[in-house]
A and B are shown apart, each in its own frame.
Chain A
């Protein structure tokens, strides 16, 4: 049950795009389309922003998009805004009937 691997931090200026990678294995990301992404602003509970790789819950801006390739999932934030500054976590359901989270990425808006 090793955590999925994410870069510790990414940054961009307002209006730019940033992409966060999330690397797992053939037992999780590579096996199912059961990848979700969570946004956690400081001092708050996480909130889902992407589920099933690329689907957005109602109310989440279409600036957020997701994809996968092999054992790696990616979250792209297009048109970065100040309010996007937060920690982001990927998550996958696994072949062991468990969930596993990523190590987390801090997004900084310059």
Chain B
């Protein structure tokens, strides 16, 4: 079964740091780009970051650029999100997602697998 399982969600004080992890199973992890997507309580989805299959190409939303760092360890089938200088507005459910990737000879840009999410609360 294809599965993504996030962990590391906590309550942290403003200005603090936290690292989220996402463990993949059921597919060849190092064949696919991965994303982090977040959802603040009662709000909509916000794309946070994307990392290519080999970690060479990385992009971030403006709202987290310079504070968050995405990384992956293909040997451990794991994706990470290091979050520094956390702000109350970073409070959200953080989802790990898989890009669909190559299909029928071309790249499909959508997220076909989602984890259940990890809760991050930034509050004093």
Residue B45 at the chain A interface, CB threshold 8 Å: yes
- From DSSP, what is the main secondary structure of chain B's interface residues? strand
Distance of A98 Cα from B47 Cα, bound (Å): 8
Task: Tell me the chain A residues, 75-93 only, with Cβ under 8 Å from chain B.
Answer: 87, 89, 91, 93
> Mask for B80-111, Cβ within 8 A of A = 1, else 0?
00000000000000010000100000001111
Check A45/B116 contact, CB under 8 A, given A1-B61, A99-B35.
Answer: yes
Classify chain A's interface size: 20 to 34
- Residues of chain B at interface, number, CB under 8 A: 24
Docked Cα-Cα span, A57 to B61, in Å, equals: 27
B44 A98 Cβ-Cβ under 8 A: no
Q: Is A12 part of the binding interface, using a Cβ–Cβ cutoff of 8 Å?
A: no
B interface, CB within 8 angstroms of A: 35, 37, 44-47, 50, 57, 59-63, 95, 100, 108-112, 114-117
Query: Could you list some 27 contacts between A and B, CB below 8 A?
Result: A1-B62, A3-B44, A34-B109, A34-B110, A36-B111, A38-B111, A45-B114, A45-B116, A46-B95, A51-B112, A91-B45, A91-B47, A91-B110, A91-B111, A93-B109, A96-B59, A97-B50, A98-B60, A99-B47, A99-B109, A101-B37, A101-B44, A101-B46, A102-B44, A103-B44, A104-B44, A104-B45
